[in-house]
Amino acid sequence: MNITDATRMLRQAERAYGTGTFAYSLNLLDRISTARTGLSDGDRASYYALRALLAERAGNWPGAARSWLAVFGDTPPASGEDQPCDIGCHCDVRTVLDAPEAASGETPCLCCPAHVLWRLVWQAALEGTIGQVLDAVPDPSGNRRTALVHALAIGTLRSLATGEAVAPADAVFTIGVWHLLLHEEDPLRFEALVTARRGAPIGAQEWRSARDTLAGRIRTALRSVDERDGHDVLDAWETAWNVEEYEYSGELVRGERGYLRMEDCFGSCVDGFGCLCPADAWPLPTRETAPPCSGLLFGGRLWMGSPVTVDAAARQLEECGEHRALLTAYTRRHGEPATWQAESDAHRACAPHLARALATRAHEQFEKGEWRDTLDDLTAAARLGFVLDPWHHEMARKAGLSAGQDGNGYQRASLVQRIHWLESAHALAPEDTVLATELAAALVRRGTEVLRRKDRRQSRARFQRALSVLPGDPAAAEALRALDALELSEVAAVITGARRGRQPGLERVRELLHRGFRAEEPVDELREVHAWYRARMTERIAEKALAGKKTEARRALRQREEVHPSWDERADRVSDGDLAHSLRETAVRQLEARADGYTRQVPLLLAAAASFARLTGAEAEQQALETVLPHAAELVDAGRPSDLIALQAGLLITPGRHVEYDQLVAVAHHRRARDRRANGDPAGAVRDERTADALHMETEQQIALDFDFDFESELFPGLFDCPEPPPDQDGRPPYTQETL
């Protein structure tokens, strides 16, 4: 390609770049690359400048650095930071590097290599690729790269004092780069740069003093920024500086290729100090191992505020003695320590550091005699996982006993406050008998007070708590027994109708009975209340069993039986046989009471009892017969034949199984047949008579012809109008079943 064509294509590439056709511009530059040496000095500079700009847009920072340097020649001045520009802007490169303007948003001029490189470093740093730029910079003197980094550090530090809100990038650069410059291992050879500028060596002590002074000034500047921008210590830039300094001081930067890259040796050396491993053997750090700010600076990650996590900040503050500042900031964010829980997501990460900070503050408050605050902080620390030692137990004991006292040792707090503080101290030192005795006495006094105000529930709770704190406490036990006796008498008065009121709850009565039966002197009302409770629980057992809820039925039976002391001696607990027995008891009780619906309930109860007892068909019938037979004659005598018939319809006892029962059922059908005829229901009467015939009973007319007397009126006087007894019975009514 001739020079004329190359020049024409260069002009086309410039126009394409100006119109935003970057791919076409790059293509033209590639086509004339072989002819670039023949271009004039100005066109050749334009060629490299276009290549540098396109490389910047593509993020190719090494290529951009090489292209920009080629604009000024292949190699920058050996010590460019000490020489003026070569293109006539008459600026001192040292002035540019020590007092840059890029931090305020202005782009530095491109008058010399130093200006260009510094602009590239700044732009590349925003993407975390400083090392790529600096690796491409020839550095024969060994100071040019350090000078560029120092210029960047100066610019970002001065940007903190602009009076405006600090951008996270400026703060991150200030912390990350200045830590590298001031690191005691001097990974960036900052001391060599300063020595070269001074022209004289620096003593070791003088250098350490200068580094400490500069670090102090930077920390002061960061503190001012935090106060101005309203940061607390958990997201303060000063805290980020301290974390970077104290927690990651072992991270080093080494080697020409590893310049400004956070790396860590995994060779045989110790912690990377004095490492002789090749730079290629050093892997890039992970997010967990890199310092927060340097990790952002060289990791290409976004900066959205402080890179230090809250738990890392809390750890640094607590370990450096800033526990009060930590607790103040954390309380402002999350509320009082009483609400902090180690298991919650909001507090889990910081819980260990907060717990130690609280324990430290508790010790300080204990020394000042601030007993209540001591208990609060120790309680919060223990809740966050802090393990108390004997000294903390002693602190809790003294604070619990002394809380509320004035300077003369007189107790000025209310009894409720005293109990609260003693409870806190007892929770912290549960083995302390002095605390337990004092707390139990306070609880008994409080229970007695609320009992006078008729608040028995609160009174009972206080007495029971006193016994749990100090088992066997005679005062609490006696007070609880008196309260139980009072409540038992009131319950007995309500269930017997002697006093109007709501029926007591079964749970409450169960607790009273359980304690009452085991008292040294049971009260008189105990048996009466127990009978009522047993009847109610038996009804509940039947209700659950008939509903098919066997587990709940067993639980109800256990609750019914366990109130009595005999339950404590039983080796076997609730069995299905016990449930069957309870259901039969309920059936008998309903037969005796004859309440509404009992003729339907009794067969169901007996069937459920047979199921729990696992009886066969014949055995189930025999059980039902034994239950109903003693009441069958009473039903006939009482003029309730339909009830007996309804029971038989539910029980389905096979005829012929028991002669007396069959005769009683037959008589019941006969009586109902007569009643139906009298009420104009001949069809129903016929059905009852046929049922009686099936039970081998003769009709009333047949009996009258064979025996010549009124069968029903003579044998069952209770079914009619109480006639006179027959002459041969000596005035005594005949026994119905025997006569039959």
pLDDT of res. 393: 93
Give pLDDT, residue 98: 39
| Least confident residue range of 68-77, 94-103, 280-289, 473-482 | 94-103
Could you tell me which residue, 123 or 690, shows the higher pLDDT?
A: 690
CA angle 147, 152, 157 (to 5 degrees): 125
Question: Dihedrals φ, ψ of 120, to 5°?
Answer: -65, -40
Q: On the CB side of 162, how many CA atoms lie within 13 Å of its CA?
A: 16
The helix or strand, by DSSP H or E, that contains position 182, with its residue range, turns out to be helix 168-182
Tokens of 267: 């060779």
Three-state DSSP state, 405: strand
The pLDDT value recorded for residue 583 is 87
When pLDDT is cut at 50, 70 and 90, the band that residue 726 belongs to is very low
pLDDT of residue 382: 93
- Using one digit for the tens of pLDDT, what is the confidence trace for 102-137? 333 344 456 666 667 767 776 776 666 776 777 777
Least confidently predicted of 38-42, 427-431, 726-730: 726-730
Residue 310 has a CB neighbour count (10 Å cut-off) of: 16
Distances (CA, A) of 244 to 229, 307, 526: 21, 10, 75
Backbone angles phi, psi at 731, to 5 degrees: 80, 0
Kindly indicate the confidence band of residue 82, based on its pLDDT and cuts at 50, 70 and 90. Answer: very low
Confidence of residue 394 (pLDDT cuts 50, 70, 90): very high
Task: Please tell me the predicted confidence (pLDDT) of residue 295.
Answer: 57
Contact between 438 and 399 under an 8 Å Cβ cutoff? The reply is no
**Global pTM?**
0.61
pLDDT tens digits, residue range 200-239? 888 889 999 998 999 999 999 899 888 888 889 998 889 9
Conformational region of residue 369, where left means phi above 0, alpha means psi within -120 to 50, and beta covers everything else:
left
pLDDT of 501 reads 73
Q: Which of 699, 640, 638 is nearest to 670 (CA)?
A: 699
Predicted confidence at residue 114, as pLDDT, reads 64
What pLDDT score does 374 carry? 93
Give me the chain's average pLDDT, please. Answer: 76
Asked if 112 contacts 151 with a C-beta cutoff of 8 angstroms, the reply is no
Residue 715 pLDDT > 50, yes or no?
no
- Model confidence band, residue 621 (pLDDT cutoffs 50, 70, 90): confident
| pLDDT confidence of residue 325 | 93
151 or 13, which is more confident: 13
pLDDT in tens, 9-36: 888 888 888 888 888 888 888 888 877 7
Q: Which amino acid is at 167?
A: A
Closest CA to 467 of 429, 432, 440: 440
Residues 648, 650: Cα–Cα separation, whole Å: 5
Q: Where is mean pLDDT largest: 34-43, 131-140, 533-542, 648-657?
A: 533-542
Residue with the larger pLDDT of the pair 648 and 357: 357
Which pLDDT score is estimated for 408?
53
Which tokens hold the place of 186?
Answer: 């001097």
Measure CA 577 to chain center: 45
Tell me the Ramachandran region of residue 246: left when phi exceeds 0, alpha when psi lies from -120 to 50, beta otherwise. alpha
Going by C-alpha positions, the residue among 424, 455, 457 that lies closest to residue 438 is 424
Q: Is 263 helix (H, G, I), strand (E, B) or coil?
A: strand
